[in-house]
Homo-oligomer: A and B are copies of this chain.
Amino acid sequence: MRFIDNPYQCPVTRTMSIIGGKWKPIIINCLGDKSLRFGKLNQLMPAISNKVLSNELKELEALTLIERTEFQELPPRVEYKLTTAGQSLLPLMHEVAKWGNSHLAKQLENQLH
């Protein structure tokens, strides 16, 4: 997701510029307070391809919202977790989840099939 020109400094526009992609909020929410490996994230989000997951993780890392820890083991082990900055998004994710649990949201999701 490209940067959105924001001359009026709209805070919603700003948020969408930063985490407005399709997957970023889902990844942030999956991580929550946990530390998860690449493969585990892939399992939790079966609809994302490993290429896209890899890209999204890199972007989130560049934004300093997540931290990547590589262990010198074989087979490789890499863990991802939210930084303090990333954790500041959790209350927002909680609201997103709250709306997603509403009857209306469930109904609209069905309509999209």
Contact = CB atoms under 8 A, between A and B. Distances in A.
A74 interface: no
Contacts of A91: 95
A76 B6 CA distance: 28
B29 A109 contact: no
Contact residues of A: prevailing secondary structure: helix
A113 B20 CA distance: 16
A51 interface: no
A65 to B, nearest CB: 8
A78 interface: no
Contacts of A71: none
A99 B105 contact: no
